[in-house]
Amino acid sequence: MVRISEEVKDELKKPIGELFKDANDFKKLIARERFRRIISIGDVCTATLLSIGIRPHLAVFDYHSKRTDVDNATLDILKKAYKSMMRYENPAGTVSDILIKDAEALMEKGGAVFIDGEEDLTALAFIQKAGENDLVLYGQPGEGMVVVRPTKEIKRKIGRWL
């Protein structure tokens, strides 16, 4: 299990990709450009995409937002969209070794991954294993949605963190 340092957590308070404050702006990006897969990390991020008609290839969530249970509307959206899901444990403040190992295969398969624990930092594993034509999205609390294009530079940075 990789425990993420407080220093890295501080760095992650700043988006590591492009911040979209409005989901419809993201929808315009999707209309303009072709991407192989969209990987969505987080309950609110995933539910927002689903509500604007975008179904992520892979969705990762834990039924929590800002350390509290998601509201019923978000829960309903997620449960209707994903009847079955793979399950992984990932304690808060970490990225589990098994998730790092399985990230590439999970992205190939697609669907949904339910995290027992905390899913926020799992974005690092998926960004590191994503292809150049993939997008990884995660929520930036109180600000919007971060869209990461997994460049070699970003992957190297995440490799140092992990």
pLDDT along the chain (162 residues), means of 10: 92 92 90 91 96 96 93 97 96 95 97 96 97 94 93 95 90
Tell me which residue range forms the domain holding 7. 2-161
- Give how many domains the chain has, as a whole number: 1
pTM of the entire structure? Answer: 0.95
Pairing of strands 111-117, 86-90: parallel
Contacts of 114 (CB under 8 A, 6+ apart): 61, 62, 63, 85, 86, 87, 88
d(CA 69, CA 33) in angstroms, rounded, equals 34
Tokens representing 35 are: 């991407």
Which residue shows structure tokens 């949904």? 112
